[in-house]
Amino acid sequence: MVIIVHGGAGKIENLKKREKIILKTCELGYEVLKNDGSALDSVERAVVELENSPWFNAGTGATLSIEGEAELDAAIMSDDLRAGAVACIKEVKNPILVARKVMEETDHIILSSEGAVRFARLMGFPKYNPVTQRRKKMLEKGIKKLKEGKPPKYLPGLKKFITTELNELNKPEELNELKYGTVGACAIDKKGKLASATSTGGIFMHLPGRVGDTPIIGAGTYACKSGAVSCTGHGECIIKLCLAKTTCDAMKSMKAQKSVNLALKLANRYNCKCGLIGIDKKGNIGVGFNTQGMLCAYIKNGELKHL
């Protein structure tokens, strides 16, 4: 039984606080495995815990779009290739739970936007406000810089979309009054079954309707008989490289860490800023990133460690 979780790649603020949450999350996911739970249940439990924390870019406190809304993406997948995902879903507390319902209750893999919201309500998920004051203040600063001609470095074309309405968004009273990187987990259970799950609020100040790598099966999330992978980072580039599946495919002939290293080599070739975690079919773990940092913890042989 092995579980590994990540709290997103990039610059890590409030490190001690986030480390504590990541360690607790890993323990909660492992507890599921110890109690004969499935890998699928384990990664779901871990991601729910991180979605509930305001310190990660998923669920509560997710980053906001340029219009001040939290548009959430999530995906979950097991090694039998069953998968479910939601994209641009709003006003739900735990998008990963909705993603699993998509997998188990529908004939589809991805539901998006308003359709995903309607499905969530049908499945009994109540309306929830995921936007925090901290994220609204970040947006105010971002909008101010954008108006000064300084868009985020990963969204250089954003300045083309400045409008009169957008210029008013730097006023707190004009921001949507809705109630901190990407998170993910991979696990292997007692039966040798593998699963992965990923959840995110996406890139800060993205255009409305933007879908990142997280809900794209094979891009940010993937699991098969060879392994399970969850990615974080610049979603547009991760999508182009199908990074999660590329890593899982490598696990057919090499261990998890070598497979992750191979994927990062590919990412570096295309200047793709990212991080990823993975587990192969023998329970070996792999971790790698080419950003400033990536919070990560794992439990193997009953021992909790963090990176």
Domains in the chain: boundaries: 2-129+179-306
Q: Are 57 and 8 in contact (CB under 8 A)?
A: yes
Q: What average pLDDT does range 114-128 have in this prediction?
A: 97
Q: What residues have CB less than 8 Å from 262, skipping those under 6 apart?
A: 246, 247, 250, 254
**pLDDT band for position 298 (cuts 50, 70, 90):** very high
Q: Are 282 and 299 in contact (CB under 8 A)?
A: no
Q: Which of 182, 214, 221, 247 is catalytic?
A: 182
Burial 36-74 (b: 16+ CB within 10 A, else e): ebbbbbbbbbbbbbbbbbebbbbbbbbbbbbbbbbbbbb
pLDDT for position 162? 63
Strand locations in the chain (E)? 2-9, 72-78, 83-89, 110-112, 183-188, 194-200, 221-223, 227-233, 274-280, 285-289, 294-300, 303-306
Give the residue, 153 or 135, on which the prediction is more confident: 135
pLDDT of 267 strictly over 70: yes
Q: Are 71 and 219 in contact (CB under 8 A)?
A: no
| Torsion sign (Cα): 136, 137, 138, 143 | positive
Two tokens, residue 180: 């901190």
Instruction: For residue range 229-255, list pLDDT tens digits in order.
Output: 999 999 999 999 999 999 999 999 999
CATH of domain 2-129+179-306: 3.60.20.30
pLDDT for position 154? 73
pLDDT for position 197? 98
pLDDT for position 158? 76
Which of 94-103, 135-144, 204-213, 298-307 has the lowest average pLDDT?
135-144
Residues 126 and 204: their CA atoms lie apart, in Å, by: 25
pLDDT for position 177? 28
Cβ neighbours, 10 Å, residue 164: 6
Q: Tell me what percent of the residues of the chain surpass a pLDDT of 90.
A: 78
Average pLDDT, the chain: 91
pLDDT of 292 strictly over 50: yes
Q: What average pLDDT does range 140-169 have in this prediction?
A: 70
Residues 233 and 289: their CA atoms lie apart, in Å, by: 9
pLDDT of 174 strictly over 90: no
Question: Is residue 291 among the annotated active site residues?
Answer: no
pTM for the predicted model, two decimal places: 0.89
pLDDT of 171 strictly over 80: no
Residues 75 and 215: their CA atoms lie apart, in Å, by: 5
Torsion of CA 134, 139, 142, 146, to 10 degrees: -170
Residues 212 and 115: their CA atoms lie apart, in Å, by: 18
pLDDT for position 133? 84
